[in-house]
C-alpha cells in the first residue's frame, strides 16, 4: 500500500496579488497558482474562486494527504481568523476569512498576518531553522515583523503583537499612513528609503539618481553598488534608524537572530552591514556581538506560499 | 497521618539588603529574616550564612515540605544560574550562585533577575493572576522589566531579555550608568525623577521642593499631592518618557496589562494617570483603550520574597 505524502496548502494574500500552492514538509512547492486580489471586490467571490483553484491543484497531484491550510494576509489575526480593517484590501471592516475558507474544505484553516507567516516559514524552512528566539523583519512597502520567543510566535493578548514598523523612532518625524508621525516604517522600508532619496535629492545634483524617471529601492541599490555617494548616504541614513530600533528591540526580547526579508532586504549587505554597525553602536554592552542579522533563506518566488503553508504545519 | 504543607524558599538579593523567607502556595509568608548583603565581601561566606539562617527558618516551622528555592538577584541569569557582573554587588565577575546554594540543600534552586522574579510573583500571587501576556515594570533605583508572553517569562536566547530600562528614549539624552545616553531608566525611575527635579529646580524658586535637604521620589510625590505645580510638572515629564516607551513596547508584544512596582510606583495615580494618557496618545490605533496600567498587588514588605519564591513554584 502507498503511503500518502503529507502536504499543506499555503495562501498569501496581498493587496494586488494572491498566490497559493501546495508545500511538502521539506518546503518544496509542488504546485502553485495566482490571481489578482483586486479583481474580487466581494470577499465571498474571492474565497469561492481561490477554493476552486486550490482544489484543481490538489486534484493535479497524486498520493497526497492535505494536513491543513495556512493563510497569510495583511492585518490577519491568528486568534479570530479574521482580517481586520486592512487598508490595502477592498474588503472592509472585519472579514472572517478563515471561517469562509473552512466551509470549502474538510481540513483545518489557520490565518495570521504576512510577517508572522514569514517568521514561521523562516523557522521551518529557512534561516531560522532550529532557533527559538528570533525576529523576522519584512522590509516591503511597509515594515512588518514577527517575534518568535521560546519557539512560539508572539501574538499578544489580542493577536496584534509584532508591529515593529509602527514603533516611533522619531517623535514628530515623517507622517505615517497610520495617522501618527515618525514610525519606523516611514524610514526603513522600500517606500521609506524612496522618501529619503527624494529628500536627499533636493539638495544634490551630483548623483546617479538625479534625473531618474522613477526612484525605487532597487535603483538606489544599483547606484550604491556603483559607488554613488548619495545612494550610500541614503542607505546609511536608513540603516541608522533601523539599527537604532533593532537595538531597542534586542533589549526587550534578546533574540539570537534577526532575519530581513522583502524588497529592501534584497539589497543585501548594502542594508545589512550598516544596520548591524548602528545596532552594535546603540546596543547595551551585554548584548554586543551576539545578535546576527541575516537575509531570508526562503526563495523569493516561493517565500509567501511557504510562509503561509508553514502555519499549517505549526 | 498529617499531610505536609508545601512551601517554597524565596531569597531576594539587593545591593544593601538580602531578605529571605518561606512562602506557601497562597502567597503567605510563614517566616522571614534579613541580613546586610554588603557585610559579606566573599560570596561563599554570604551563601553559608544565608543557608544557615534559612535552615533555622525551616526548623521553626512544623509539618512543611520544601519544594524548592527561588533566588532573585541583580543581573541574575536564569539559564546559567549565575550573577554576571552586577555593578551594585561586591562579588565581581560571574558568580555561580544557584550552584553554591544547591550545595547546601537537597531541593532545586532557580535564579533570575529581580524584575523577572517580580513578574512571576505578580502572576502567581498578584495583579497579573491568570494573565498570559503582560509586562512588569519595576521603578526602583533603576528601571527593571519582565515580559510574560503566552504565559511564559521571556528570557531571550541568552537569559538577558527584558532590559526595558536600557532602551534608548532620547538619543544624546542623559548619561546612564551603562555608559550610553538617553536610557529610559535615566528618566523613569526613583533616581531618574530626582534628576528631573534637580533640573527643573534650577529654573524655579516657587515650589515646595525649594530648599529641601534631600529630594526623593517620595518628597516629589508629597509636594504633588499638595498641588505643587513644579512637582506635577516633574511627574508629567517623567510620564511622557515612560508612556512613550510603553507605547513602543505594546507594539512589540501587545500585552493585556502593564504592572508598575517599586518606589516610584508607590506614588500611584500621580505616575500612572499621566503615563496612561501619554501611552494612549502615542499608541497605534489598534492598541488603544485595551492595555491597563495598574500598580502591583504584592504587599511591599513581602513582595521581594514572594517574587523570588514564585520562581520555585514555576
CA distance B21 to B53: 10
* Contact pairs from chain A to chain B, CB under 8 Å: 129
Model pLDDT, residue B15: 83
For the stretch A88-113, pLDDT in tens is 789 989 999 999 999 999 999 999 99
CA distance A28 to A25: 7
- The DSSP H or E segment spanning B233 is helix B229-253
Per-residue pLDDT of chain A (314 residues; tens, 9 = 90+): 567 899 999 999 988 889 999 999 988 999 999 999 999 999 999 999 999 999 999 999 989 999 999 999 988 999 999 998 887 789 989 999 999 999 999 999 999 998 999 999 999 989 999 999 999 999 988 899 999 999 999 999 999 999 999 999 999 999 998 999 999 999 999 999 999 999 999 999 899 999 899 999 999 999 999 999 999 999 999 999 999 999 999 999 999 999 999 889 989 999 999 999 999 999 999 999 999 999 999 877 788 899 899 999 87
Interface ipTM: 0.92
B167/A248 CB distance under 8 A: yes
Please report residues of A whose CB lies closer than 8 A to that of B79: none
For the stretch A229-265, pLDDT in tens is 999 999 999 999 999 999 999 999 999 999 999 889 9
Chain B's closest residue to A86, CA to CA, is: B286
Q: Which of B159, B161, B252 sits opposite A164 (nearest CB)?
A: B252
Query: A interface mutation test: which of B248, B257, B287, B292 has the most A CBs within 10 A?
Result: B248
CA distance A150 to A253: 10
Model pLDDT, residue A314: 74
Instruction: Report the range of poorest mean pLDDT among B50-59, B76-85, B219-228.
Output: B76-85
Task: Provide the pLDDT confidence category of residue B16 given band limits of 50, 70 and 90.
Answer: confident
Per the prediction, chain B carries an average pLDDT of 94
Nearest Cα to Cα of residue B134 among B116, B115, B148, B120? B148
Position B2 pLDDT exceeds 80? no
What percentage of chain B reaches a pLDDT higher than 90?
84
Please report residues of B whose CB lies closer than 8 A to that of A290: 157-158
The 8 Å CB, 24+ separation contacts for A124-127 are A124/A27, A124/A310, A124/A313, A124/A314, A125/A26, A125/A27, A125/A297, A125/A298, A125/A306, A125/A310, A126/A259, A126/A296, A126/A297, A126/A298, A126/A306, A127/A257, A127/A259, A127/A294, A127/A295, A127/A296, A127/A297, A127/A298
Residue B130 touches chain A, beta carbons under 8 Å: no
B286/A160 CB distance under 8 A: yes
Query: B interface mutation test: which of A136, A167, A283 has the most B CBs within 10 A?
Result: A167
Chain B's closest residue to A281, CA to CA, is: B180
Give mean pLDDT, residues B51-67: 95
Position B187 pLDDT exceeds 80? yes
Please report residues of A whose CB lies closer than 8 A to that of B179: 285
What's the whole-model pTM score? Answer: 0.93
Model pLDDT, residue A287: 95
Q: Residue holding cell 526623593?
A: B216
Residue A180 touches chain B, beta carbons under 8 Å: yes
Please report residues of A whose CB lies closer than 8 A to that of B286: 84, 160, 163
B251/A164 CB distance under 8 A: yes
Query: A interface mutation test: which of B75, B113, B157, B278 has the most A CBs within 10 A?
Result: B157
CA distance A186 to A232: 19
Which tops the pLDDT comparison, B26 or B277?
B277
Query: What grid cell was written down for A266?
Result: 534584497
Task: Provide the pLDDT confidence category of residue B272 given band limits of 50, 70 and 90.
Answer: very high
CB neighbourhood size of A30 (10 A): 15
Model pLDDT, residue A304: 82
Give mean pLDDT, residues B210-218: 93
A160/B287 CB distance under 8 A: yes
Gap from B100 CA to chain A (nearest CA, Å): 24
* Angstrom distances, CA of residue B2 to CA of B65, B186, B202: 12, 53, 66
Task: Provide the pLDDT confidence category of residue B136 given band limits of 50, 70 and 90.
Answer: very high
Position B1 pLDDT exceeds 60? no
Please report residues of A whose CB lies closer than 8 A to that of B160: 254, 286-287
Residue A76 touches chain B, beta carbons under 8 Å: no
B254/A160 CB distance under 8 A: yes
B167/A252 CB distance under 8 A: yes
Query: B interface mutation test: which of A76, A87, A152, A157 has the most B CBs within 10 A?
Result: A157
Model pLDDT, residue B87: 76
Give mean pLDDT, residues B104-111: 96
B residues 3-42 lying closer than 8 A (beta carbon) to A: none
User: Contact A165/A142 with Cβ under 8 angstroms?
Assistant: yes
Residue A151 touches chain B, beta carbons under 8 Å: no
Query: B interface mutation test: which of A286, A288, A291, A292 has the most B CBs within 10 A?
Result: A286
Amino acid at each position: 500500500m502507498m503511503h500518502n505524502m503529507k502536504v499543506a496548502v499555503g495562501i498569501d494574500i496581498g493587496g494586488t496579488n494572491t498566490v497559493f500552492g501546495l508545500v511538502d514538509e521539506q518546503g518544496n512547492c509542488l504546485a502553485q497558482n495566482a490571481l489578482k486580489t483586486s479583481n474580487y471586490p466581494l470577499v465571498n467571490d474571492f474565497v469561492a474562486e481561490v477554493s476552486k483553484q486550490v482544489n484543481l491543484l490538489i486534484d493535479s497531484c497524486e498520493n497526497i494527504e492535505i494536513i491543513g491550510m495556512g493563510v497569510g494576509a495583511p492585518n490577519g489575526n491568528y486568534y479570530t481568523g479574521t482580517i481586520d480593517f486592512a487598508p490595502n484590501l477592498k474588503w472592509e471592516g472585519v472579514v472572517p476569512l478563515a471561517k469562509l475558507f473552512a466551509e470549502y474544505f474538510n481540513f483545518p484553516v489557520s490565518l495570521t498576518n504576512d510577517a508572522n507567516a514569514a517568521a514561521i516559514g523562516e523557522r521551518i524552512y529557512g534561516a531560522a531553522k532550529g532557533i527559538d528566539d528570533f525576529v523576522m523583519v519584512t522590509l516591503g512597502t511597509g515594515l512588518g515583523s514577527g517575534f518568535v520567543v521560546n519557539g512560539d510566535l508572539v501574538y499578544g493578548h489580542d493577536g496584534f503583537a509584532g508591529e515593529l514598523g509602527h514603533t516611533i523612532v522619531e517623535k514628530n518625524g515623517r507622517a505615517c499612513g497610520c495617522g501618527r508621525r515618525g514610525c519606523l516604517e516611514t524610514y526603513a522600508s522600500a517606500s521609506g528609503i524612496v522618501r529619503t532619496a527624494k529628500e536627499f535629492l533636493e539638495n544634490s545634483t551630483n548623483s546617479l539618481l538625479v534625473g531618474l524617471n522613477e526612484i525605487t529601492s532597487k535603483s538606489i541599490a544599483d547606484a550604491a553598488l556603483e559607488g554613488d555617494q548619495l545612494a550610500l548616504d541614503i542607505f546609511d541614513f536608513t540603516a541608522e534608524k533601523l539599527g537604532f530600533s533593532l537595538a531597542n528591540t534586542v533589549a526587550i526580547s534578546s533574540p539570537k537572530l534577526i532575519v530581513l526579508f522583502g524588497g529592501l532586504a534584497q539589497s543585501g549587505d548594502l542594508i545589512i552591514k550598516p544596520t548591524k554597525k548602528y545596532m552594535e553602536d546603540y546596543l547595551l554592552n551585554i548584548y554586543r556581538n551576539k545578535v546576527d542579522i541575516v537575509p531570508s533563506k526562503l526563495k523569493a518566488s516561493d517565500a509567501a506560499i511557504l510562509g503561509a503553508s508553514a502555519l499549517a504545519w505549526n
